[in-house]
Amino acid sequence: MAVHRFIGDRHAPTPLPKLRARRAVLGTGELPESLQRMARARFLYVETDANGRPEVHVEALEHEGRHAGRHVWRIGVPVDRALRGARAGRTLERHAPERFLAEVDETVSFTSYRPDWIDALPMPRLILGSSAPLARRFDGRRVQPLWVYDSARHAFEDDSWPWGLVGRIFNNRGFSGTGALIGDRLVITAGHMVPWGDSPWWIRFVPAYFNGTSLFGAGVESYVSDARGYDVHGNVTGYDWAILQLYEPLGSALGYFGYNSYSSDWNDLPVWSNIGYPGDIDNAEEPAFQQGFTINDTDGDSNGGEELESENCDLYFGNSGGPCFAWWNNGTDPRIVGVVSGQESEYKPLFSTRNDNVFAGGDGFVNLCAWGRANWPA
């Protein structure tokens, strides 16, 4: 049996009061040319046979937009029905943990990366008055599949670092969730967000998604070329994670999170944060942020997985794959310890139950992240 490695620092993350006292770090503001090019256009992808070339039809609409010397153009592109204008992925593979562990390069860094051009803020710019309402049934019971405890979540609009590193994920099955950059071409998310077994298939990642497009620009997004992980068939487990390789090296321009193994010594520390796209906040069109929740308990799982259980972190449909993270190095280094998987009710003594939301983490999680950085570099 593989022995998974603890990766990261074993000392506790930075306390929130110390983090919140930090001043903003201003970047140069000089956007990379690659980011400027992506922001100026959006792309559709069309499959043809080997010798085919799609015909693009461009026509001016005679009676629209002609004021002030401007015109409206209609552009028609033939789109394959199966792909709907998306870029098809290449490989979906699930392997035993021993294979990933054997291919981890111990010299690869586990820390985060911030490019010089981008501002860094210790807290995102919240949209005031946008805390989520309590989501309950008519009989007062909380909704499923993820528990909502109170109104601790707040929508925000911010493309600074690291808040713009989290994005919305879409796939060919019509589902949406959340993912986060952890490398030049790497996104970490939940395993159940991957359309395992589909052919063709596609996954689209939009960093800093806000009301339809990225805050970095309309074309700043990427489809996924490859995915690795485990298929848990919808179960809430400690190894519900997947790593995605992007066609576009978004992390090179935007930066990325680090990652860290979790220690049970940190149970009950109010240092953790989460970002996601829950469906009960503007239909998942705006990201939601919460900070200061605790991990109350952990349950070990197979494959190096660990269930990180929280009874005070609000989650909902669309949060799947979103990061649970804290800060190290005096509040300068955000690292992910797990991703949103689901919820469970845990039976306690005296016939009571506790409702927990579950993040999938553990040494197997960080080993998969390290495998990605070693085997899918920019």
3-state secondary structure of 360: strand
The answer to whether residues 62 and 110 belong to one domain is: no
Contact 201, 172 (CB under 8 A): yes
Q: Which pLDDT band holds residue 373 (cuts at 50, 70, 90)?
A: very high
Nearest to 242 by CA among 169, 308, 154: 169
- Asked if pLDDT for residue 75 goes beyond 70, the answer is yes
The answer to whether residues 63 and 151 belong to one domain is: no
- Asked if pLDDT for residue 139 goes beyond 80, the answer is no
The answer to whether residues 333 and 264 belong to one domain is: yes
Beta bridge partners of 338: 324, 361
Q: Which pLDDT band holds residue 72 (cuts at 50, 70, 90)?
A: confident
Q: What's the residue count for the chain?
A: 378
The answer to whether residues 76 and 145 belong to one domain is: no
Least confident of 179-183, 240-244, 276-280, 342-346: 342-346
3-state secondary structure of 352: strand
- Asked if pLDDT for residue 138 goes beyond 50, the answer is no
Contact 249, 207 (CB under 8 A): no
- Asked if pLDDT for residue 13 goes beyond 50, the answer is yes
Instruction: Name the DSSP class of 247.
Output: S
Nearest to 148 by CA among 359, 315, 272, 342: 315
The pLDDT of residue 201 is 96
Alpha-carbon radius of gyration of the chain:
21
- Asked if pLDDT for residue 275 goes beyond 80, the answer is yes
3-state secondary structure of 191: helix
Q: Is residue 60 situated within a structural domain? A: yes
Whichever domain contains 103, its CATH number is: 2.40.10.120
Query: What's at 85, amino acid-wise?
Result: G
Give the pair of three-digit tokens for residue 7: 């990766």
The mean pLDDT of 190-207, rounded to a whole number, is 95
The pLDDT of residue 140 is 37
Q: Is residue 47 situated within a structural domain? A: no
Q: Is residue 102 situated within a structural domain? A: yes
Q: Is residue 1 situated within a structural domain? A: no
The mean pLDDT of 188-214, rounded to a whole number, is 95
Max avg pLDDT among 142-156, 194-208, 287-301: 194-208
The answer to whether residues 213 and 337 belong to one domain is: yes
The pLDDT of residue 68 is 62
Average pLDDT, the chain: 85
Q: Is residue 38 situated within a structural domain? A: no
The answer to whether residues 282 and 160 belong to one domain is: yes
The answer to whether residues 174 and 73 belong to one domain is: no
- Other C-beta atoms closer than 10 Å to the C-beta of 90 total 11
- Asked if pLDDT for residue 92 goes beyond 90, the answer is yes
Nearest to 95 by CA among 364, 373, 376, 327: 364
Q: Is residue 7 situated within a structural domain? A: no
**Predicted TM-score (pTM) above 0.85:** yes
Domains held by the chain: number? 2
Least confident of 39-48, 113-122, 244-253, 349-358: 349-358
More confident of the two residues 249 and 100 = 249
What distance in Å separates the CA atoms of residue 182 and residue 166, rounded to the nearest whole number?
10
Q: Is residue 44 situated within a structural domain? A: no
Contact 140, 148 (CB under 8 A): no
The answer to whether residues 272 and 294 belong to one domain is: yes
Contact 177, 284 (CB under 8 A): no
Last residue of a domain, one of 67, 85, 103: 85
What distance in Å separates the CA atoms of residue 51 and residue 356, rounded to the nearest whole number?
55
Task: Provide the domain limits for residue 329.
Answer: 16-33+89-375
Q: Is residue 11 situated within a structural domain? A: no
The answer to whether residues 81 and 105 belong to one domain is: no
What distance in Å separates the CA atoms of residue 145 and residue 135, rounded to the nearest whole number?
12
The pLDDT of residue 2 is 57
CA-based end-to-end distance of the chain: 31
The mean pLDDT of 61-87, rounded to a whole number, is 72
The answer to whether residues 77 and 101 belong to one domain is: no
The answer to whether residues 202 and 250 belong to one domain is: yes
- Three-state helix/strand/coil letters over 287-339: CEEEEEECCCEEEECCCCCEEEEECCCCCCCCCCCCEEEEEECCCCEEEEEEE
The answer to whether residues 336 and 313 belong to one domain is: yes
What Å distances lie between residue 128 and 20, 95, 103, 154, 205, CA to CA? 18, 45, 46, 8, 27
* pLDDT tens column, 143-160: 343 444 445 678 999 999
What distance in Å separates the CA atoms of residue 231 and residue 248, rounded to the nearest whole number?
25
Query: What's at 58, amino acid-wise?
Result: V
The pLDDT of residue 282 is 83
Strands 323-328, 272-276: parallel, antiparallel or unpaired by DSSP? antiparallel
- Asked if pLDDT for residue 133 goes beyond 60, the answer is no
